[in-house]
Amino acid sequence: MEKSPLFSVITVCYNSAATIGPTLESVKSQTFTDYEYIVQDGRSTDGTVAMVEKSGIAGLELVSERDTGIYDAMNRALGRAQGVYVIFLNAGDAFHGADALARLAAVAEREDRPGIIYGQTILVDGKRKYVGPRHLTAPKDLQLDDFSRGMVVCHQAFVPLRRITGLYNADYRFSADYEWCIKCLQHSRHNIYVGDEPLIEYLKEGTTTRNRRRSLIERWQIMAMYFGLWTTLCRHASFVARAIKRRSL
Domain count, the chain: 1
Say if residue 15 is exposed, middle or buried (CB neighbours under 10 Å; 0-12, 13-18, 19+): middle
Is residue 242 in a domain?
no
Q: Measured between alpha carbons, how far is 78 from 71 in angstroms, rounded to an integer?
A: 10
pLDDT tens per residue, range 172-229: 999 999 999 999 999 999 999 999 999 999 998 754 555 777 888 899 899 999 999 8
Is residue 230 in a domain?
no
Residue count of the chain: 249
**Which distant-in-sequence residues (6+ apart) come within 8 Å of 45 by Cβ?**
15
Residue 242 has pLDDT above 60, yes or no: no
Is residue 68 in a domain?
yes
Q: How confident is the model at residue 232 (pLDDT cuts 50, 70, 90)?
A: confident
Q: Measured between alpha carbons, how far is 64 from 80 in angstroms, rounded to an integer?
A: 13
Query: CB count, 10 Å around CB of 189?
Result: 8
pLDDT at 244: 54
For residue 187, the enclosing domain spans 7-211
Q: How confident is the model at residue 3 (pLDDT cuts 50, 70, 90)?
A: confident
* Start-to-end CA span in the chain (Å): 60
Q: How confident is the model at residue 10 (pLDDT cuts 50, 70, 90)?
A: very high
pLDDT at 33: 96
pLDDT tens per residue, range 87-131: 999 999 999 999 999 999 999 999 999 999 999 999 999 899 999
Are residues 60 and 26 in contact, defined by beta-carbon separation less than 8 angstroms? no
CATH number for 108: 3.90.550.10
Q: Measured between alpha carbons, how far is 76 from 90 in angstroms, rounded to an integer?
A: 14
Is residue 217 in a domain?
no
Residue 169 CA neighbour count, 13 Å, CB half? 14
pLDDT tens per residue, range 40-92: 999 999 999 999 999 999 999 999 999 999 999 999 999 999 999 999 999 99
Is residue 103 in a domain?
yes
Is residue 2 in a domain?
no
DSSP-assigned beta bridge partners for residue 121: 200
Is residue 218 in a domain?
no
pLDDT at 221: 93
Residue predicted with more confidence, 117 or 237: 117
Does residue 169 sit in helix, strand or coil? coil
Is residue 249 in a domain?
no
pLDDT at 233: 81
